[in-house]
Structures are given as structure tokens and as C-alpha cells.
Amino acid sequence: MIFPKLKDKTYGYINLDLESIEWYNKNDIDLTKNNILLDAKVCQEFVDDIHQKYSLDFSYGGWMEERNHFLRGAYIDAQNKFIHLGVDINVPTGTEVATDFKAEVVKIGDDFDPEAGWGPHVILKNLTQSVYIIYGHLDRNILCAEGDILDKNTIFATVGFPPENGNWFPHLHVQCISNEYYNEIEKEIEKLDGYGYKNEIELNAKRHPDPMEYISFN
């Protein structure tokens, strides 16, 4: 269970791109002007509105979804890389994050970027299946060290807050990396991105399998 303290809470899937269009229209916001959802505080209010609308305590979504509306004007806009390669789980700052499997901690990093980045992050090697998983936008108080072997259900981090979390609204980004692709990019792992090109969805789906196959909420 990835969030031990959220056991029995109500959760559901949401598509942030579709919800952002509806939210813009509801609030009479001109889609051609600056994207105010790039402001972490405004985006948190947006996510809170969605949770209230659907009576959710937290939500998830994003794997291989296109986000050209939700993230219009972000750093990925210039590259036209709008396909989300992981899953975003929208939970409050300070939510404890636990392992869903026995794992080795292979990397801990913090690429603080005031415009958007991974922020504090941890990469775990799943010791029961052939996949690595990166957990991004964490709090800087990481509760593990590189080389640690973590048993299943071990709390190893907490969800961070802006701007220290990469300057995103509070959420956990979970992204899988296949063994083959990790071995290919290990020496340049700092170049790993959370977004890809639309014409490479099939390739990226192989490189970055659906994280929901490896994590659970209850």
C-alpha cells in the first residue's frame, strides 16, 4: 500500500487535461491567455475543486495521457512533449509514501528547478519484478539512503510542497522504467523526463509501463 495513512479513503481516476478545459470554461478564463494553472497555488485550488466535485479524498491519473491544455505554456510546450509517462497521485503535502514491494534504493536526487522539475526524488529497483520506479516531487527529508534494501510496506519518503518539490502543486509522480531502458540511460539518468512525444507513445509504453501494475491504494 503506497499511502498507509490513506487506507479506506475515497479515491478515483481523473483526467487533469479534460478537467482543466471544463474549469477554464466554468470560471470564464480565456484559454488563449497565460495558463494560471502553472501556478502551484492556483493548481492546488483547481485539484481541490475536482475532489469536491467527485467527493474524493485523493485522485490519480495521467499515464500516457496528453496534457496540452493542462500544461500549456510549461517547459514541455516548447518541445511539444505533452504525453505523461507516469501516474500523478494527488495527495496532500506530508503524505507518507511506502513501498509496495521489496526494493533496493538505487538513486536519491534533487534537481530543484523553480520552473518545474522532479524536485527531491527516489528511484527504487523492484526486487520481485523487472522494473525500476521513480517517485518524484517529494519532501527533502528522504527516509532512506542509496543502497538500502527496503521490505514491502516500508515508509521511505513523504510528499513535498512547492517550490521545493519542483514547484508543482502537491502530488506524487510515479513512473516506471523498464530494466532494459534503465540500463540504457543509467549513466545519464538525470536526463530522464516525465513527458514524451505523441508519436512515440508505443515506444514509451514499453520503456515506461503503467505504474498502476506495481502500486496499490488499499
DSSP string, 45-92: HHHHHHHHHHT-SEEEE-TT-B-TTTTTTSHHHHHT--EE-SEEEE--
* Contact in structure between 111 and 118 (CB atoms under 8 Å): yes
The average pLDDT across 10-15 equals 97
All cell numbers assigned to 36: 494560471
pLDDT tens digits for 75-118? Answer: 888 788 999 999 999 999 999 999 999 999 999 999 876 666 89
CA dihedral 122, 125, 130, 132 (to 10 degrees): 10
What domains are defined for the chain? 1-218 (2.70.70.10)
Is the pTM higher than 0.75? The answer reads yes
Burial class (CB in 10 A: 0-12, 13-18, 19+), 137: buried
DSSP letter at 66 equals: B
How many angstroms separate the CA atoms of 93 and 38, rounded?
A: 18
DSSP letter at 7 equals: T
pLDDT tens digits for 126-155? Answer: 999 999 999 999 999 999 999 999 999 999
